[in-house]
Each structure stands twice: as C-alpha cells, then as structure tokens.
Chain A
Amino acid sequence: MVHQYKLNGYNIVLDTCSGSVHVMDDIAYDITALCKEKSGEEIKKYILDKYEAENICEKDVDDCLEDIKALESAGKLFTPDTYENMAFDFKKRNSVIKALCLHVAHSCNLNCEYCFASQGKYHGERALMSFETGKRALDFLVENSGTRRNLEVDFFGGEPLMNWEVVKKLVEYAREIEKIHGKNFRFTLTTNGMLIDDDVIDFCNKEMSNVVLSLDGRKEVHDRFRKDYQGRGSYDVIVPKFQELVRRRGGKNYYMRGTFTHYNTDFTKDILSMADLGFTELSMEPVVCSPEDASALTESDLPVLFEQYEILAKEMIRRKKEGKGFTFYHYMLDLKHGPCIYKRISGCGSGTEYMAVTPSGDLYPCHQFVGDKKYLLGNIYDGVTNTEIQNEFKLCNAYAREECADCWAKLYCSGGCAANSYHASGSIKGVYKYGCELFKKRIECAVMLKVAEADEE
C-alpha cells in the first residue's frame, strides 16, 4: 500500500509493506499517484499540461515512469500486502509472557481528575501489593517466559512509590533469580514524583532501565489536574525532584510523560516547557476518558491537534540545529533498525505476552483493563484460566479489524490499542477512530523528521 502526503515542503511517499520511504519532486509525486490508474499516455498528457511552464518533455515523464517501475521491481514501491496469514499464525503460536505491569499500589497520593485508574484505585479498594504476591508474580513471569531472555517489569499504580520498600525487595529478588534462570530483568518505574528522595533516585538510577515521570508541561496546565487531596497543585513539589533524578541518571533512559486534554490543545507549549526545564526525553499523550468528560478531546479539537503535531515537528528541527534538540516519544523512528514485520503485525501484546497484575495477584490483559471483571484473565497462582478472553486478545493484530484493511498506517500501529478500541466501540476488535487520526498524523510527522534529517546529511 502506498501513502502519499506533503509536509514541511517535502513530498513523501511511503510504501508501507516494504517499509520504504521516498521523497519525490512534484512531477514524480504526481506520476506515482496516477500510475496505477491511468495509462502511460494519459499520464504524459496530464503532466505535460500541468507542468507546461517548467519545460517538461515526454522523455522526462518516460524516465520517471521507468524509475518508478525500477522501484517496484526492487520491492520498494507498490509492494503487495502478503502478511495477513502470517499475523494470525504468529500470534497463535506465540505463547510466552515477557512483560508484566505490576500494580504494586492501588492507591495514590495525588487526586488527578482525569486519571483513567480512578485515583489509582481502578474502581476497587485501596490496596498495596505484598512482597509475597510480587515475588510470585516474578516467578510466574519466569515460568511462562519460555526461551525469552529479556523480561520487563513495570512498577505501576496508583503510585508505586507508596509501596517503595516492596519495590526494592522485588528488584533484589529478581536479580537473584535472573542469574539462576538465564534471564535479564528490565525494570521501569512510573511515578508522579511526590515521594522521590535520595534513596529513590539512587536506587532507580542503578536498577531501573527506564523511569517514566509524570509531568503535564506548563505549571498552570499541570496543576489543573494533578493536585493532592487538599487541592494543591503538585508542580512545585515534583519538578525539582525530577530535575535532580534526571541530572543524576547519567544518560540512562527516562521519559517525562504528560497527558493533554481539551483544556490544553496547544500542548506543544507544554512539551516545550518541559524541554525548557532541561528535560530531553519527552512524551505527551492524549487523555483517555469518557467522551462525556469535560476534559475529553472533541471533534473540533482535531484540526488544532494536527497543527500542533506539525508545529512540534518543525520546532524539533529548529532546536536540533541550535544544539538544543529533544526526543518526542511518538516521533522516535529508526527506519533502518526498527521493528521487524512480526512486531509490526502482532500488536501490542496485551493479554498474550504482556499482562497486568493487581495487588492481590489477579491477571488482566493490560493496565487499562484492570478492575473490569469481564477481562479478568486469571491469577498468578493458577495462571490464565479465562482462555476465551485470552483467545480474543490472540486475535488482535494489524489485520483483525475491517476498518484497518485499507489503512496505510496499520503496520505502524499494528491495529492500535485494544483498550482504546474497547472504550470507544465496546469491543477490543473495534476501532478508536479519533486515536487513529492522531496516530496517523504523528507517523506522518515522524517520517518527515527522518526525511528532514536525511536532507541535512
């Protein structure tokens, strides 16, 4: 499938099934758009008429058509989509678990109004995971990981620092068992920052492969939602802590991770605000909430958000040239060494290779399903017992949804987020169209940044 678009002065052509990216002048761009629908003569006439002022001759058009044919023969343009059967077969065969989201605390010391986890409680009671439960979860992961060496565990909540001693003991336990079983645990901690202190900083910077630090950007934006139970904004408390943690991190991975809502559709300002604080690894996500919620993004927000993503991409180019570059999570594309086709067709892995564990040891397909009893998969003691639900997740892939059949972006999103689909359509096999539109725009911008980078070289 071929997708053509114009952005920041570039005519970009994506051949999605080979992964190829081409940058074309106006004539080649038009010819590519026409060459599967019109005859050579019709194309010639159209191009010669349209570009009359540019002294284009028939030979120019013929040469360009030859180049396009050569790309097609080389498997870089109009590559047929042959991956569908592979997608279903691959997930059917794949039965290992390689990542757990450990909900070590269903409790939070902030009371963020937009929280998809209902202030950390996930529509249930406040609870902390015991060391014994966490230990069993790690054993469960090892037992079910087959020959996978790299195992990931995300300490999540609620606020995981509210159960910090257990987190530390679990890391210590994992380091013991990884040697015995030939595994490599990679830990991530996602935190609101309120309880960060020297001990947290030292431990995280030694043991956590990644830390995700929640910051929404500008102070007034952050403090609108991210308040404590007395209604006080958390910005002034957490920003110095985050800066200190990152300063001492020595280049290890981290993300500043924000959420934008209907109230800050100019979210680029929030990303730049984080960059201005000295942070360089940035992520900003659209809010996940009910459409009835006042903070929900609306149809009329969409063109504004598209423009924001473009502004962000252009600003990133500008700042990079000035030596003040930063990374935006959704624009990180490694075109040469990125994910293989199996990764691209098999989806996010929720409910199959990735699961969330509640404080009591229940298993859910991912953190966004926690608390929804329909999606309870089983528990860490008995394993997955609700195979009917798991089989539904096994069928989630880039080819699972009719709506995706003709979508150029399906090998970039792999069918999208099952939880978003469920919340938008009532089914994990549905589609969250609004999210799709944002996703496609982000990918267009991300590829454009790569094109601009190549242009600089």
Chain B
Amino acid sequence: MERIKTIETRDLTESAVNGGCGECQTSCQSACKTSCGVANQKCENCEEK
C-alpha cells in the first residue's frame, strides 16, 4: 500500500480463540503498583523467541 504502512501486531480477535491461559503476570506485580495497565504485560505463551 502506497500511503499506508501496517506494523505487525498480534491479532486480538484471533487471540480470543487461542488466549486466556492466565499464566501471565498480574499487572501490578511488576513495577507500577499505582497505575494499572495491561498492554505492556508479557504473554507467557508467545514471548518473542
């Protein structure tokens, strides 16, 4: 596409099928402790190899 560049991302719709194992870290357990965010958490099942 000439005018649009798409960055490679995880397809969230697809993750509804293969996600939800729950093995990931709880959000506040890492560093913030005062402001929840989930987008920056790691997935235990598809970490970058």
Chain A residues proximal to chain B, CB less than 8 Å: 17-25, 27-28, 63-64, 67-68, 70-71, 75-76, 79, 82-83, 86, 90, 94, 96, 98-99, 101, 116, 148-150, 152, 154, 186, 188, 190, 210, 212, 255, 257, 259, 283, 285-286, 288, 329-344, 347-350, 353-354, 366-368, 411-420, 435, 438-439, 442-443, 446, 450-451, 454
Chain B contacts for A340, CB-based, 8 A: 10, 12, 15-16, 18-20, 43
Are B10 and A335 neighbours in the complex by a CB distance under 8 Å?
Answer: yes
Chain B contacts for A413, CB-based, 8 A: 36-39
Are A21 and B6 neighbours in the complex by a CB distance under 8 Å?
Answer: yes
Given A67-B4, A337-B47, A283–B31 Cβ distance below 8 Å? Answer: yes
Are B42 and A334 neighbours in the complex by a CB distance under 8 Å?
Answer: yes
Question: A366 to B19, alpha carbons, bound, how many Å?
Answer: 25
What are 20 A-B pairs with beta-carbon distances under 8 A?
Answer: A19-B11, A20-B9, A21-B7, A24-B3, A24-B4, A71-B6, A75-B11, A83-B16, A212-B33, A255-B30, A283-B31, A288-B34, A333-B39, A337-B42, A338-B39, A338-B42, A341-B15, A343-B38, A414-B37, A416-B35
Question: A6 to B12, alpha carbons, bound, how many Å?
Answer: 24
Chain A contacts for B19, CB-based, 8 A: 340-343
Task: Supply 13 further A-B pairs (C-beta < 8 A) apart from A283-B31, A285-B35.
Answer: A18-B11, A20-B11, A21-B6, A21-B7, A64-B4, A71-B4, A82-B13, A101-B29, A330-B40, A333-B40, A340-B43, A353-B22, A419-B34
Q: How far is the CB of A301 from chain B (nearest CB, A)?
A: 16
Question: A194 to B43, alpha carbons, bound, how many Å?
Answer: 34
Question: A234 to B30, alpha carbons, bound, how many Å?
Answer: 23
Are B30 and A329 neighbours in the complex by a CB distance under 8 Å?
Answer: yes
Question: A94 to B19, alpha carbons, bound, how many Å?
Answer: 14
Q: How far is the CB of B41 from chain A (nearest CB, A)?
A: 5
Q: How far is the CB of A341 from chain B (nearest CB, A)?
A: 5
Chain A contacts for B29, CB-based, 8 A: 99, 101, 152, 154, 188, 354
Question: A90 to B19, alpha carbons, bound, how many Å?
Answer: 12
Chain A contacts for B24, CB-based, 8 A: 339, 343
Question: A210 to B29, alpha carbons, bound, how many Å?
Answer: 10
Are A368 and B22 neighbours in the complex by a CB distance under 8 Å?
Answer: no
Are A344 and B3 neighbours in the complex by a CB distance under 8 Å?
Answer: no
Chain A contacts for B47, CB-based, 8 A: 334, 337
Q: How far is the CB of A405 from chain B (nearest CB, A)?
A: 18
Most buried by A among B3, B24, B42: B3
Chain B contacts for A354, CB-based, 8 A: 26, 28-29
Chain A contacts for B36, CB-based, 8 A: 347-348, 350, 413-418, 420
Q: How far is the CB of A7 from chain B (nearest CB, A)?
A: 14
